[in-house]
């Protein structure tokens, strides 16, 4: 038998290990946290790990040797001031969705990747090309900066004082899509401290059996 306490306002489910029978397997996120609830497309979604201890990663993410280029291993730190985060830090940002308008989690993947593999609950899909001047008109990029990221124009310059903290990810440590976006944003003057990078991406997320949802 299991007992859980819901921490009001945090969406955390705390497991009492003393009440778990010796022969019963548990697959918590951490020793104390079983699941986290986040706002996704207007409703609460419970993020947890797949309880099946025989579950395996999707075939799309089981390949070890993708051609490089373009699928080259990314560094741990993309640029000075840009924080590289893991799953627990990602969960902390996801818990802010719907409560803190200053945070936006972005799935940078293009093509049909989000449809094939799902996205992290609470994230929005903005394909990396939509922020790259070689693929998207500069005025459309400006609209994204203003309307979605909270930046402001001051003549020919940008003011990012009230811009959102962006948490970006793509397919995994071998994926260059979110790194390309981060480097492009830095080139535009976006503050490094307002850019976070989940290097593990969907590959690591799925490797840990964490919940994904279909994109909107």
The domain locations on the chain are 4-48, 63-207
pLDDT tens across 186-200, in order?
999 999 999 999 999
% the chain with pLDDT above 70: 89
- Residue 185: its pLDDT value, please? 98
Give pTM, 2 decimals. Answer: 0.88
Residue-wise pLDDT for 78-133, tens only, equals 999 999 999 999 999 999 999 999 999 999 999 899 999 999 999 999 999 999 99
Using alpha carbons only, what angle is made at residue 27 by residues 198 and 215, rounded to the nearest 5 degrees?
Answer: 45
| Tokens, residue 152 | 């402001």
Q: What per-residue confidence (pLDDT) applies to 1? A: 38
Identify the H or E element spanning 142. helix 138-143
Average pLDDT in the chain: 90
Neighbours of 88 (CB within 10 A): 11
Average pLDDT over residues 17-45: 81
Q: Biggest alpha carbon distance in the chain?
A: 66
| pLDDT tens figures, 160-173 | 999 999 999 999 99
Q: What pLDDT score does 116 carry?
A: 94
Structure confidence by residue, pLDDT tens digits, 9-22:
334 444 444 444 44
Residue 48 in tokens: 């947890």
Pairing of strands 165-169, 195-198: parallel
pLDDT cut 90: percent of the chain above it: 86
Instruction: Provide the token pair at 194.
Output: 């307002």
**CATH, range 63-207:** 3.40.250.10
User: Which token pair is 130?
Assistant: 């939509």
The answer to whether the beta carbons of residues 108 and 201 sit under 8 Å apart is no
d(CA 87, CA 92): 9
Res 111: pLDDT: 86
């Amino acid at each position: 038998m299991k007992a859980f306490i819901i921490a009001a306002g945090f969406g955390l489910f705390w497991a009492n290990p003393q009440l778990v029978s010796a022969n019963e397997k548990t697959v918590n996120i951490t020793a104390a946290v079983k699941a986290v609830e986040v706002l996704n497309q207007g409703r609460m979604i419970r993020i947890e790990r797949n309880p099946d201890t025989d579950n395996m990663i999707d075939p799309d993410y089981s390949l070890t040797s993708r051609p490089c280029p373009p699928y080259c291993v990314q560094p741990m730190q993309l640029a000075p001031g840009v924080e590289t985060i893991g799953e627990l830090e990602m969960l902390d940002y996801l818990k802010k969705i719907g409560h803190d308008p200053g945070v936006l989690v972005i799935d940078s993947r293009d093509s049909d990747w989000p449809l094939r593999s799902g996205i992290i609950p609470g994230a929005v899909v903005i394909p990396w090309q939509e922020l790259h001047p070689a693929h998207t008109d500069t005025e459309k990029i400006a609209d994204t900066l203003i309307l979605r990221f909270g930046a402001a124009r001051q003549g020919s310059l940008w003011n990012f004082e009230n811009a959102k903290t962006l948490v970006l990810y793509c397919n995994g440590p071998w994926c260059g899509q979110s790194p390309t976006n981060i480097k492009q944003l830095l080139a535009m003057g976006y503050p490094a401290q307002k850019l976070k990078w989940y290097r593990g991406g969907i590959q690591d997320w799925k490797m840990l059996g964490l919940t994904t949802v279909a994109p909107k």
